[in-house]
A and B are shown apart, each in its own frame.
Chain A
Amino acid sequence: MSNQTELQIALTGVNKHYGAYHALKNIDLRIAKGSFVALVGPSGCGKSTLLRSMAGLETITSGDLVIAGERMNAVPPRKRDLAMVFQSYALYPHMTVEENLTYSLRIRGVKKAEAKKAAEEVAATTGLSGLMGRYPRELSGGQRQRVAMSRAIIRHPKAFLFDEPLSNLDAALRVHMRKEIRALHDRLGATSVYVTHDQIEAMTMADHVVVMRQGVIEQQGAPLDLYDRPVNRFVAGFIGSPAMNFVPAVAADDGRSIILPFGEGQHLPVNRPVPRGRSLIAGLRPEHLVIDPTGAGPIRLDVATVESTGSNSYIATASKPDIVLVTNGRSPVSVGSRISIGIAPEHVHLFDAGTEARIAVEG
């Protein structure tokens, strides 16, 4: 992110301890005004703790949290002017939709008629107009989700915090709401921080993806940067679906190819020099692997399973470790047949077998 863009939320050296447990380790994160940032990682990685620390629901042990130029470490949540959409939605069950929407306004002493008008405006944009008199228990999951969103929108907060807001919806609705949330973000010119364990949500919605593991930010950047240049094996395996194949490999003597453990002569050319004999992990994305009908591909393996969704076929090989590759449409091969697989040299990711860090093109 360039220096010219205005910072909305800035975390510097943030740590969070629960007793002996170190939940957040030296978090540095800059969130520009108007950006959509996704915090993504497996459960227990600290992404929710980080979000709740921004909201003030958790206090950070050390470091600095600055929101819109003000240091907020010790400011209570109600004075931070952030709106949060909870995974459970946290709608007030004893209030109607309208009362849920206007709650924050009524707390601030906004006049009744004015609050009602604001609620109607927001409801019109989120498709809740006909439901204002209903109680949360009378709504479907998707409608509750909209109420939770509307309750956040009505406040015009400094930033929206989303804590896995779509995980309670069914798959079809989730895909739809993904687009809707992003469209809403763009229309409001809002700043959004979005926690999810679903890397597809992160990749499709965010301008800036932050991958976390065990309280540490492993990598952050534009979604496709993470896809193209993952800094280590963890990020490489986490970003992309189906997940990247990892194959132990050794650098060949020619320094321009690697030897795969699938038997004699399975050399894979790479586009960077590698010191001979070095133990490596080769990362091969399923969508980059292609079946070579001439049989001249560098990898030759038997097919173990074929799964077809109609639009794609997932072919897994009978090898250790197995290799998954994706082809468009129907599978050109059948179970048990021997296939020849190729990959463009620039698509081969290489990681150090010990540190699991990326070996860059220049290296």
Chain B
Amino acid sequence: MKRIFSSLADGKGFDIALIVFPLAFLFVMAGLPLIYNVVMSFQEVDMFSLGTFARPFVGFKNYVTLFSQPETWPILKNTAIFVVASIAGQFIAGFALALFFWTNFPGASWLRGLFLVSWVMPGLVVGAIWNWILSGDFGVLNYLLTALGIIDGNIFWRSDPNFSLWAVIIANIWLGTSFNMILLSVGLSAIPKDLFEAAELDGANAFQRFWTITLPMMRSTIGAIISLGLIFTLQQFDLFAAITSGGPNNSSNVTQYWAWDLSFRQYDFAQGATISVVMIVFVMMASIVYVRSTRHEVRG
């Protein structure tokens, strides 16, 4: 006991303790479930063998089965569309807002903080709000589009297979925009002001300054935010549960929702684990990009 106290006092071993605790936490709470999930994807799992580890190994059978199912490729395609459209929408809207608030008009920082409200809200609440907005009969989005003359008849966003995925994408863009905006605002304010002044004296107009100074100086921020966006988008579950439940007929189903559906509604745990492992591969790639881009900071 005395040794522990003295080691705290003189700092010896304290640094190791600081690392051991989070590492142990990470291993128990994230590492083990991850390994367990990967192992399960190579096993035959049913309701009866769920309580034991001693389950028959079946090799790649689960993977073969997964990719032979007719809904797999459409769902993977949906996931790709969801990820790309969501990130693009969030990033463009977020960057536009960040640039807007960057002009620093009176009340800008206050208003920018207010935008974060959308990001703090639980996904299920956001989903409920968007259910009203997207409603086919009385939704305000249909009303707006009709009033603007863009559409003639009502779009049934949530039940029309052509629009159901986009209904979730629209809600997800709204949800993630403010997070993008905040991170991009931080990146913008980290660029030294005198670079813009130098460029201005060097003859660059606002557009040229954006292309030659702002964007390249934001490279690491942009890399980080896009990989974070990929991770968050692949995690997005609540909105699917609240808005379309993956339907109709899997037209808005994505891998993360499908994994849950397979495991906990159809009790096909092995298939659920298998699709999760496929997702892990993608998230790992995003993580590598994220780590590399934050390491590659460009600062004078």
Please state if B300 and A77 are interface contacts (CB–CB under 8 Å). Answer: no
User: Which residues of B sit under 8 angstroms from A93, Cβ to Cβ?
Assistant: 195, 217, 298-300
Please state if B201 and A78 are interface contacts (CB–CB under 8 Å). Answer: yes
Give the residue of A78, A88, A104, A137 whose beta carbon is less than 8 angstroms from that of B205.
Answer: A78
Please state if A94 and B198 are interface contacts (CB–CB under 8 Å). Answer: no
Size of B's binding interface in residues, CB under 8 A: 21
Q: Which residue of B lies closest to A80 (CB)?
A: B201
Q: Which residue of B lies closest to A144 (CB)?
A: B300
User: Total A-B residue pairs with C-beta atoms closer than 8 Å?
Assistant: 68
Interface check A320, CB cutoff 8 A: no
User: Which residues of A sit under 8 angstroms from B46, Cβ to Cβ?
Assistant: none
Interface check B212, CB cutoff 8 A: yes
Interface check B208, CB cutoff 8 A: yes
Interface check A90, CB cutoff 8 A: yes
User: Which residues of B sit under 8 angstroms from A77, Cβ to Cβ?
Assistant: 197, 200-201
Q: Which residue of A lies closest to B219 (CB)?
A: A94
Q: With A88-B194, A93-B298, A93-B299 given, is the CB distance from A107 to B217 under 8 Å?
A: no
Please state if B204 and A92 are interface contacts (CB–CB under 8 Å). Answer: no
- Near B by CB (< 8 A), chain A positions 235-254 give none
Please state if B203 and A108 are interface contacts (CB–CB under 8 Å). Answer: yes
- Near B by CB (< 8 A), chain A positions 90-129 give 90-94, 103-104, 107-108
Please state if B194 and A90 are interface contacts (CB–CB under 8 Å). Answer: yes
Q: Which residue of A lies closest to B193 (CB)?
A: A90
A94 to B217, CA, bound (A): 7
Report B132 CB to chain A, min CB distance, Å: 46
Please state if B201 and A92 are interface contacts (CB–CB under 8 Å). Answer: no
Interface check B213, CB cutoff 8 A: yes
Interface check A55, CB cutoff 8 A: yes
Contact with B along A55-88 (1 / 0, CB 8 A): 1110000000000000000001110101110101
Please state if B216 and A84 are interface contacts (CB–CB under 8 Å). Answer: no
Give the residue of A80, A86, A151, A155 whose beta carbon is less than 8 angstroms from that of B197.
Answer: A86
Interface check B152, CB cutoff 8 A: no
Known: A104-B203, A136-B300. 15 other contacts (CB 8 A): A55-B201, A57-B197, A77-B200, A78-B204, A82-B201, A84-B201, A86-B197, A93-B300, A94-B216, A103-B202, A107-B204, A108-B203, A137-B300, A151-B198, A155-B202
